[in-house]
């Protein structure tokens, strides 16, 4: 696929913005492919795809310019609305929408204003699709994703009906099948998952997450963490898409941080989420107020009768990799239990891996600067 000429290919280009939309689908590759193809047809360059069946989430990393990126994300959102129904179980990642979160990312302070304006345009576009849009972070007076997701879609519907919350764009009621969406503008956030060596359990992962997150005993600044049990350690048949060619349906690939090929969480390289952004990323913030939803969704996730044992994972978001390089995060986890492997969701800048141990495997390790130059 030829990428649009107007999309910069250098992270230093002042026109370049990123978007990291997370959709609540990580098990049906054709759905993830179709959403990714819609982003691309809308004018974005798809740099990376991370898919995860446990989190039931896919995270796309998109590049574009102001004036085009919001339209591209809205095109993917329309595809997600047509294909994803929240009435079906959506995995262990907290969520309130089919397109759950859609941040616009600025790589330096000079692009902050452009990202804020693009995020506001995106909120308007998504509201026009019938989605209630909640701004968070810089645009939401510091409101966190967790505050909106508390209790899941059902609780959010009740809070809207009671007038406790009002969306910033769109209708004051959930979309009947696609829920709501969170939109923000932010600097790069790293979704990074640390898998513990056997025989560690999910209880160990939760204890360690409580220790390493901001405010915990180890107090890593700007780190959000929860402990999870992964029940698909071998992944699905198809998984991580690496570039703009991935999204096309003809590729048959899954287009965070969802479905895995070589992806994503345990084969060779998630999303995330988790556990991205925002997880697909793959991590979540404010785990205390999301515990009820985690318990509910985890209980609905089928447990394989045969196959490898579940994996205990400490799923993290790192808000400032300059303050907490990934090497420091891994060292903090390893102080409590042996680490078997790690997984990165999305595309971290090269500086995030400064001092990282060479002998520790990291699935999905691809660097933003390298992918843009490819």
User: 3-class SS at 160?
Assistant: helix
Query: Which one of 93, 95, 321, 336 is the catalytic residue?
Result: 93
**Is there a contact between 99 and 301 (Cβ–Cβ < 8 Å)?**
no
Q: Exposed (0-12), middle (13-18) or buried (19+): which is 30, by Cβ within 10 Å?
A: middle
Has 60 been annotated as catalytic? no
Mode of pairing for the β-strands spanning 133-135 and 181-186? parallel
CA distances from 181 to 88, 175, 249 (A): 17, 10, 25
- Residue 204's nearest CA partner among 58, 310, 363, 45 is 310
Q: How far apart are CA 182 and CA 92, in angstroms?
A: 18
- Active-site positions read 93
């Amino acid at each position: 696929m030829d990428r649009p000429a107007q999309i910069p290919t250098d992270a230093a280009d002042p026109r370049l913005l990123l978007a990291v939309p997370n959709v609540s689908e990580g098990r049906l590759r054709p759905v993830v492919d179709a959403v990714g193809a819609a982003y691309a047809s809308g004018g974005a360059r798809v740099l990376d795809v991370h898919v995860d069946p446990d989190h039931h989430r896919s995270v796309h990393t998109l590049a574009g310019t102001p004036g085009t990126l919001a339209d591209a994300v809205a095109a993917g959102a329309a595809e997600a609305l047509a294909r994803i129904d929240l009435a079906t179980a959506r995995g262990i990642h907290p969520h309130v929408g089919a397109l759950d979160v859609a941040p616009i990312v600025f790589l330096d302070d000079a692009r902050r204003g452009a990202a804020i304006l693009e995020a506001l345009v995106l909120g308007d576009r998504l509201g026009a699709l019938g989605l209630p849009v909640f701004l968070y972070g810089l645009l939401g007076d510091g409101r966190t994703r967790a505050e909106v997701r508390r209790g899941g879609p059902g609780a959010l519907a009740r809070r809207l009906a009671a007038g406790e919350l009002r969306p910033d764009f769109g209708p004051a009621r959930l979309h009947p099948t696609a829920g709501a969406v969170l939109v923000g503008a932010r600097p790069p956030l790293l979704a990074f998952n640390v898998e513990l060596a056997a025989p560690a359990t999910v209880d160990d992962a939760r204890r360690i997450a409580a220790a390493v997150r901001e405010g915990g005993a180890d107090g890593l600044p700007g780190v959000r963490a929860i402990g999870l049990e992964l029940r698909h350690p071998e992944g699905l048949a198809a998984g991580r898409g690496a570039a703009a060619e991935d999204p096309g349906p003809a590729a048959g690939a899954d287009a965070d941080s969802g479905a895995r090929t070589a992806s994503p969480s345990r084969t060779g390289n998630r999303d995330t989420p988790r556990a991205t952004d925002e997880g697909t990323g793959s991590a979540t913030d404010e785990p205390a107020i999301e515990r009820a939803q985690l318990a509910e969704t985890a209980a609905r996730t089928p447990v394989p009768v045969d196959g490898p044992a579940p994996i205990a994972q400490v799923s993290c978001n790192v808000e400032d990799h300059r303050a907490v390089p990934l090497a420091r995060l891994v060292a903090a986890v390893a102080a409590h239990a042996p680490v078997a492997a790690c997984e990165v969701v999305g595309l971290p800048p090269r500086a995030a891996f400064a001092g990282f141990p060479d002998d520790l495997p990291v699935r999905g390790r691809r660097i933003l600067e390298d992918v843009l130059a490819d």
